[in-house]
Amino acid sequence: MIYTWVSGLAVEKQANEFLMEKSPADRWTGFFPLLLEGDINSAFLLTEPPDRRGVDPHDNAEMEKLFDIPVDGQSPKGRLTYFRQTTFVRLLQQPSKPRATVTPMAVKSWGYEAGGYKVVRTYRITTPEGYFDLPLTVQSIDPESPGDPRRWRVLWGPATVIAAFQLTPLGEKMEAARQSAAMFANMWLERLAAHDLPEVFLLTRDAARRRGLQACRLFGTFGAAAAPLACAPGSPGYLLPGTVALAAHVLPAYPDLGIGGESPVVVRPDFRASGDGKLKAAVLQVPPPQRLAAWPLAQQPKIEESDAMVGHWEEKGGQLEIAHTVEIRVSLPDGLPVVVRAKVILSADARTDMNAFRHLGPAAPWRVVRLELERASPVRGRPMPKQ
């Protein structure tokens, strides 16, 4: 009995150190410190068996080649993408001052099975937005040779869930901001899919500017007949003849979703595509990304609720920016269904009370800053092995 108790304490201690501490003598330790440093790929490798960790975690292309094989035929997501998008991983990437903390809580169980010790423990993660409890299971891989260290891995899967997030006032503010931003982004994506290019452009302007440019769209729709109305005595001061003339020449055609070369659609320098490079070329050339509204979309792109709750935020020069992830399904000319993963970046005055804009569409204080194209993947896959 005493031996079992002492053994249990030793195993629990080793499992906790594997999760909580980075050892100078063992690079395969420190699951939570790696996440807090933003080294998500290295943390992910700690969920894999030791014999599958011989890859540079900073080589995204190689990591995705080995660990991001789609797990079913309906989504391009593999284990790596699922891990990157897991709620607790993304919450730990939010800007935190002070930094998020991780506190070990109760050990729920431990035992020996499948050639190693398995420990189930709850960890409380506290951020300026609130706190939540995360149950994690780790299992040891005992050494084959005497003197070799015992290895550990996190038994993680897409079904890993956290307990309810207890929000602070900042957390409540950010929840409202994310929800409002996601609704606005979905409205912009809907207009993009509908090829409503004037509205796509208008939603990239701030709220005050949008009100002025609505008259431009009126002119673009009704032609010169709208000019006397826009310039009539008593009309709003922002309906200037120059603005109306600009609308007449730009909004009706609108080839590049912008004026003077400006475009809210950008291809990130690290844009990647699965395969040998042919897919990347096909995605970027059919048609050019700055004409994304002309892409043959397979379905309406939409920010899912699960993503809307964890969009990354930061303040820049008095502006609050939120980045929401979206998957854009495209049908290439050869019929191959492809998913382009992207981020919709939105901005609003950081002083705005977002609770007042939870359900207001076009009147919301947001604007779409840009759509960043990150990665393209064909939709095909195989079942994920069970843990």
pTM surpassing 0.85? no
The pLDDT value recorded for residue 10 is 84
Q: List C-alpha distances in Å: 322 to 325, 350, 366.
A: 10, 11, 10
Is 214 or 150 the better-scoring residue by pLDDT?
150
The pLDDT value recorded for residue 185 is 94
Sorted by where each begins, the domain ranges of the chain are 2-164, 169-195+263-378, 205-256
The pLDDT value recorded for residue 131 is 94
E-strand stretches of the chain: 101-113, 116-127, 130-141, 151-154, 166-167, 265-273, 312-316, 319-331, 337-349, 367-378
The pLDDT value recorded for residue 263 is 63
pLDDT tens-digit map of 134-193: 999 999 987 777 767 788 999 987 667 777 789 999 899 899 899 999 999 999 999 888
pLDDT tens-digit map of 79-108: 999 999 898 999 998 887 788 999 999 999
Record the tokens describing residue 32, joined without a space. Answer: 């939570």
pLDDT tens-digit map of 28-87: 899 999 999 999 999 999 999 999 999 999 998 899 989 988 877 667 788 999 999 898
The pLDDT value recorded for residue 187 is 92
Record the tokens describing residue 271, joined without a space. Answer: 């844009």
Output phi, psi for 324, to 5 deg: -110, 140
Helix ranges, 102-202 (H):
169-193, 197-202
SS (H, E, C) 253-313: CCCCCCCCCCCCEEEEEEEEECCCCHHHHHHHHCCCHHHHHHCCECCCCCCCHHHHCCCEE
d(CA 223, CA 200): 20
Is 173 or 282 the better-scoring residue by pLDDT?
173
Please provide the average confidence, as pLDDT, over all residues in the chain: 78
340 within 8 A of 268, measured Cβ to Cβ? no
The pLDDT value recorded for residue 181 is 92
Res. 246: pLDDT tops 80: no
The pLDDT value recorded for residue 276 is 64
pLDDT tens-digit map of 299-358: 889 998 888 889 999 998 899 999 999 998 887 777 778 888 999 999 999 888 777 666
Strand partners, 349: 319
Residues in the chain: 387
Identify the architecture of domain 169-195+263-378 in CATH: Roll (3.10)
